[in-house]
Amino acid sequence: MRKNRSAPGKPPVIDPYLPRNGNYGYRVSRYELDLEYRVSANRLTGSATVTAVTLAALSSFSLDLSDALRVSKVSVNGRRPQGYRTSDGKLRITLAAPLPAGAAMTVEVRYSGNPRPIRSLWGEVGWEELTNGVLVAGQPNGAASWFPCDDHPGAKASYRIQISTDSPYAAIANGALTSRRVRAGQTTWTYELAEPTSTYLVTLQIGDYVAHKLPKSGKAEKADKDSVPMQAFLPAHLRDDFDHDFARQPQMMKLFTKLFGPYPLVDGYTVVVTDDDLEIPLEAQGISIFGANHCDGSRRSERLIAHELAHQWFGNSVTVRRWRDIWLHEGFACYAEWLWSEESGGPSADEWARHYYEKLVDSPQDLLLADPGPEDMFDDRVYKRGALTLHSLRGVLGDKNFFALLRDWTTRHRHATVVTDDFTGLAAHYAEETLRPLWDAWLHSTAVPQL
């Protein structure tokens, strides 16, 4: 087991997978971002208002913020602090007077600069310029590339995001679009995201996009209170390919709400397709982002469409508290791919399980699913072994209890954070025999067990 160790004189590490991320002493409840962005110059000017409560007496605290952004003003509860400085990805603030535990704290930060991705163990993450626009891919530690925050999955908050940019461009962010105002060649878009959301799942997408509404997941002939509104933003020239490649997304939504429980977001689901190719699609709260290469009229990316949609339940609503438990995101979304394949006339979940089991047996057997280590947390073996763990559990519980467990899981932990023990503990209530041998074999051993 990896221990939380810190150098003397430094605050303890919140998550050893991302030892520089996260901050102690307070809990954020809301972010309000007022942003202006010039596409041609990649120039971002912003004001972030962070509402929080102190968890301990504070004389100083920090926020995560990229060194590419320059801070010009800070206030705490309307007063200037004693001082502030930015270095090593942190904005460190020293208060003029200490705050007691349980105090309300409103922090306003004005900043500007030319945002760029954050270099990480997994490549560049966060703010990324496209050929004609911008995308934000925040997982796992990219949120600080564009706003000051407590950048850790266990820290969830609500958001208001207001973004002004050049009028030819559409700006898409999480939540409901509450206003759109055009003035002097710029359009200001305002979004409200009420559901508690981890910082890495907050996104901004800017491009020469047209809006396209998709059929709802419910019955078309009558209003259905359980149907989920869906829309897309994409380049106009990809519209025909999109209509073919994403045609079965409403059926996916219908299947997943049946198997996993109600769709967890009140404002529906949005797909963004960029005009650039992307190596992999990306999930955000209520939004999935695909590249033009995933929308080519071939329908070859349908499993990825299912995978990203499933993340709205597993990863976005029910989110890991620490990155070591990422199989609770990726294993579940991967298994959703297999369930969709079975539903849509492709190979069954059992056939996919056997197919990937053989591949897993032929791969290095040195990965511990319950704690894969930061280098391997996005390894494909986490995805496939996680899905195989669920398939093995389904075999033990039977379909009725297995899917009842999944619905209970998504309902009980809706918009909350979890660890692996939460899932194994809940699963015990649906089993007639101990599940310990299954967990020991699949989660806590490196060898691939018998399927």
Whether the per-residue pLDDT at 10 is higher than 90: the answer is no
Amino acid at residue number 199: T
Share of the chain above pLDDT 90, in %: 93
In this prediction, residue 12 carries a pLDDT of 79
Q: What is the pLDDT of residue 284?
A: 98
The DSSP letter of residue 26 is E
pLDDT of 222 reads 44
- The per-residue pLDDT for 379 is 97
Instruction: State the amino acid at position 150 in one-letter form.
Output: D
pLDDT of residue 2: 37
- The pLDDT tens digits of the residues spanning 80-124 come to 999 999 999 999 999 999 999 999 999 999 999 999 999 999 999
pTM score > 0.85 for this model? yes
How far apart are alpha carbons 349 and 355 in whole angstroms? 10
The domains of the chain, with CATH numbers, are: 26-205 (2.60.40.1730), 210-312 (3.30.2010.30), 320-442 (1.10.390.10)
How distant, in Å, are the alpha carbons of 79, 80, 95, 100, 231 from that of 75?
A: 5, 5, 9, 17, 39
> Which residues sit opposite 110 in a β-bridge?
47, 73
What mean pLDDT is predicted for residues 313-341?
98
At 9 the pLDDT is: 53
Six token digits for residue 272? 């963004």
Q: How far is CA 253 from CA 54, 256, 391, 410, in A?
A: 40, 5, 21, 15
Amino acid at residue number 128? E
SS3 163: strand
Cβ neighbours for 411, distance < 8 A, ≥ 6 positions apart: 261
How many angstroms separate the CA atoms of 62 and 3, rounded? 23
Whether residue 285 is predicted with pLDDT greater than 50 in this model: the reply is: yes
Compute the distance between CA of residue 314 and CA of residue 329 in angstroms, rounded to an integer: 5
Model pLDDT for residues 216-269, shown as the tens digit of each residue: 765 443 446 678 999 999 999 999 999 999 999 999 999 999 999 999 999 999
E-state strands within 228-275: 230-234, 269-273
Angle subtended by helix axes 380-397 and 349-361, to nearest 10: 130
Burial 29-38 (b: 16+ CB within 10 A, else e): ebbbbbbbbe
- Other beta carbons within 10 angstroms of residue 421's beta carbon come to 11
Closest listed residue to residue 200, CA positions, set 301, 105, 122: 122
Contacts of 421 by beta carbon, 8 Å cutoff, 6+ apart = none
Is 109 within 8 Å of 91 (Cβ atoms)? yes
DSSP lists the bridge partners of residue 359 as: none
Cβ contact 239:273 at 8 Å: no
Chain segment 182-218, per-residue pLDDT in tens: 999 999 999 999 999 999 999 999 999 999 988 776 5
CA distance 148 to 109: 8
- Give dist(CA 93, CA 107) in Å, integer: 10
Pairing of strands 118-120, 104-113: unpaired
pLDDT of residue 3: 38
How far is 272 from 252, CA to CA, in rounded Å? Answer: 17
Segment 49-71, tens digit of pLDDT: 999 999 999 999 999 999 999 99
- Please tell me the distance from the alpha carbon of residue 183 to that of residue 167, in angstroms, as a whole number: 9
